Chains A and B, each alone.
Chain A
Amino acid sequence: MTTTAPVKKPVAKASTGTLLDFKNVAMQFPNGTVALQGVDLTVNRGEFVTVVGPSGCGKSTLLRIASGLEKASEGTADVDTDRIGYVFQDATLLPWRNVQRNVELLAELHGETKASRAGKAKQAIDLVGLNGFETSLPKQLSGGMRMRTSLARSLTLEPELFLFDEPFGALDEITRERLNDELLKLFTEQQFAGLFITHSVSEAVYLSTKVVVMSGRPGRVVDTFDVPFPMPRDPDIRFTAEFAELVGEVSHALREGHH
């Protein structure tokens, strides 16, 4: 199978450099709602940035601006790559397509050949551990497996910047922790930069190199925490005092920013 192996990234990724740079970004919707105000945020290569903030503070809006789905009404939102992965809150699979065909979708939309699509899909399916489920339909999968399929679909883009909008929010605790570990593995192996939104402070601390805390609407960045734990992350750090302390600090900042 070596001959059909998908083409690896032609350019070696620099380990530094800014992929996403938001300066003084504000977002006011036509109906007058101000979702974001004066947001400064950077995501560098090699970083996994997590955003926590109260519901409705504009976190999704932030990602929508980053992906180009929405245009900031003020400030500059620079994104220095066009290989952007976007994982939605729900898996957004097409229910009439099996896992294989769902994972192939993005390459298909880019007009790639069948062979190229299949190669990319196979690699991505391997990465998320869905081998053997290629012909399953979404309705036959568990929530966790659907999310894996969704991840695999974005992985076919070989993204440099990966946006996640509360992807594991609807999953049970155990599935969520497993997917966190696999996501971290992907992060170290695939070397994308991540911008991840979650409601869970411990998930934020566990996953990321940097945690950004936002205030209630209109959302502003109220605090930023660097997460010092080394990157192939040991699942057991979750039970250390340092981890608990950082979770406490972030939670505190979150509560402060709320009012």
Chain B
Amino acid sequence: MSGAETVITSPRDVAIERRGERQRRAYSRGRGPLIWMPPVIVFLILIGIWYLVALYYDKIQGLGFLVPYPHLVLKEFFNDQYFSPQLWQDLLNSTEVALTGLAFAIVIGVLWATLMSTAKWLERSLYPYAVILQCIPILALVPLIGILFGYEFPSRVIVTTMIALFPMVSNTLFGLLAADRSQRELFQLQGASKLTTLVKLQFPGAMPSIFLGLRNAAGLSVIGAIVGDQFFQRGNPGLGVLIQVTTSRANGAGTFAAIIIASLLGIVVFLLFGWIARLVVGKWYEF
């Protein structure tokens, strides 16, 4: 289980970017509420399909618990005396794992990339390991992580960090190296030190790229937290375990509720970091 390097910018965004900022504005703001219509319509269609499938399982197969009706899932969020509090508690636990793992991924990723950016030989020596990390099946490492760090919170965080790390490393490195030649020479001509160039040129210039990596890493950290639960279930595990437990008890509505909450967590984290990115660099950079 390892997250591929996700490129978030859609071809459509790229195309709009090329057509220039003004048209882009017209596209995203000028049409007003109409912009929300297409996804809402798709959402309604999906719910409709869900009802049809649920109807099929319920009436024809007689296995209603496998695919519960949407409204039953919705009820699960609020009604159940036992399940609902558990769901929110698990959401909290998973969020904690995701954010802790993400924090480590940010710190390690930025340091790693910064180190590589300082010299070509360091980049050549260290970059392959970032790629290798990306290729290791986490499942294969589970026994090792378990033996070394136990089956609780720390191991869940380690899995999360490993999954979220790569986009931080690669995007930060890309951003740091992207400063163009004449900008570097501008600094060089004033006798600026490597550190000064890093702090005043490379880092600020890398911020958009770092935030893009951060947004991807944030999404992956939620995946990491859920995956971590599957392997390391002691202590206070989160949504991953809840999904397993509800499945084994044939509580279809519970499973669906947990999956939806996990997905929403991923989306919220993704949007949150996109928002922070725009707050920090949106003034001079169009995402």
What residue of chain A has the Cβ atom nearest to residue B196's Cβ?
A109
Residues on the A chain within 8 Å of B196, using CB: 109
Closest CB in chain B relative to A47 CB, distance in Å: 22
Contacting pair B201 A94 (CB below 8 A): yes
Bound Cα distance from A137 to B200, whole angstroms: 17
Residues on the B chain within 8 Å of A129, using CB: none
B122 lies within 8 A of chain A by Cβ? no
Which listed residue (B185, B204, B207, B283) contacts A137, Cβ 8 A?
B283
Contacting pair A109 B188 (CB below 8 A): no
B189 lies within 8 A of chain A by Cβ? yes
A84 lies within 8 A of chain B by Cβ? yes
Contacting pair B189 A69 (CB below 8 A): yes
Closest CB in chain A relative to B282 CB, distance in Å: 11
Closest CB in chain B relative to A169 CB, distance in Å: 14
Contacting pair A139 B284 (CB below 8 A): yes
Q: Using known A-B contacts A109-B200, A137-B284, determine if residue A92 contacts B189 with beta carbons closer than 8 Å.
A: no
Contacting pair A67 B285 (CB below 8 A): no
B 134-192 contacts with A by CB, 8 A: 180, 182-183, 185-192
Bound Cα distance from A109 to B187, whole angstroms: 8
Residues on the A chain within 8 Å of B180, using CB: 92
Residue among B185, B200, B284 having the largest count of chain A Cβ atoms under 10 Å: B284
Bound Cα distance from A96 to B187, whole angstroms: 16
A 55-114 contacts with B by CB, 8 A: 67-69, 84, 86, 88-90, 92, 94-96, 105-106, 108-110
What residue of chain A has the Cβ atom nearest to residue B187's Cβ?
A109
B205 lies within 8 A of chain A by Cβ? yes
Contacting pair A109 B192 (CB below 8 A): yes
Contacting pair B182 A84 (CB below 8 A): no
Contacting pair B284 A106 (CB below 8 A): no
Which listed residue (B190, B192, B205) contacts A94, Cβ 8 A?
B205
Contacting pair B285 A95 (CB below 8 A): yes
Bound Cα distance from A106 to B191, whole angstroms: 10
Bound Cα distance from A90 to B183, whole angstroms: 10
Per-residue CB proximity of A108-136 to B under 8 Å, as 1/0?
11100000000000000000000000000
Closest CB in chain B relative to A43 CB, distance in Å: 18
Contacting pair A90 B182 (CB below 8 A): yes
Q: Using known A-B contacts A109-B196, A110-B190, determine if residue A94 contacts B183 with beta carbons closer than 8 Å.
A: yes
Residues on the A chain within 8 Å of B73, using CB: none
B281 lies within 8 A of chain A by Cβ? yes
Residues on the B chain within 8 Å of A106, using CB: 190
Closest CB in chain A relative to B33 CB, distance in Å: 29
Contacting pair B189 A86 (CB below 8 A): yes
Contacting pair A96 B284 (CB below 8 A): yes
B 184-216 contacts with A by CB, 8 A: 185-192, 196, 200-201, 204-205, 207
Closest CB in chain A relative to B198 CB, distance in Å: 13
Bound Cα distance from A69 to B186, whole angstroms: 10
Q: Using known A-B contacts A92-B182, A92-B183, determine if residue A69 contacts B188 with beta carbons closer than 8 Å.
A: yes
Residues on the B chain within 8 Å of A88, using CB: 182, 185-186
Which listed residue (B188, B189, B284) contacts A95, Cβ 8 A?
B284
Residues on the A chain within 8 Å of B185, using CB: 69, 88
Residues on the B chain within 8 Å of A89, using CB: 182
Bound Cα distance from A139 to B205, whole angstroms: 14
Bound Cα distance from A95 to B185, whole angstroms: 16
Contacting pair A96 B182 (CB below 8 A): no
What residue of chain B has the Cβ atom nearest to residue A138's Cβ?
B284
Closest CB in chain A relative to B53 CB, distance in Å: 49
Contacting pair B182 A67 (CB below 8 A): no
Closest CB in chain A relative to B232 CB, distance in Å: 42
Residues on the B chain within 8 Å of A108, using CB: 200
Q: Using known A-B contacts A94-B183, A94-B201, determine if residue A84 contacts B189 with beta carbons closer than 8 Å.
A: yes
Residues on the A chain within 8 Å of B190, using CB: 106, 109-110
Closest CB in chain A relative to B181 CB, distance in Å: 9
A 123-165 contacts with B by CB, 8 A: 137-139
**A interface with B by C-beta (< 8 Å):** 67-69, 84, 86, 88-90, 92, 94-96, 105-106, 108-110, 137-139
Please list 14 pairs of residues, one from A and one from B, whose beta carbons are closer than 8 Å in the complex, sorted by A's number.
A67-B189, A88-B182, A89-B182, A92-B182, A92-B183, A94-B201, A94-B204, A95-B284, A95-B285, A96-B285, A105-B186, A108-B200, A109-B196, A110-B190
In the complex, besides A86-B189, A88-B185, A92-B180, 18 extra interface pairs with C-beta distance below 8 angstroms are A67-B189, A69-B185, A69-B189, A88-B182, A89-B182, A94-B205, A95-B285, A96-B204, A96-B285, A105-B186, A105-B200, A109-B187, A109-B190, A109-B192, A109-B196, A137-B283, A138-B284, A139-B284
* 8 tightest Cβ-Cβ pairs between the two chains A and B: A109-B190, A88-B182, A92-B182, A96-B284, A95-B284, A109-B192, A96-B204, A137-B284
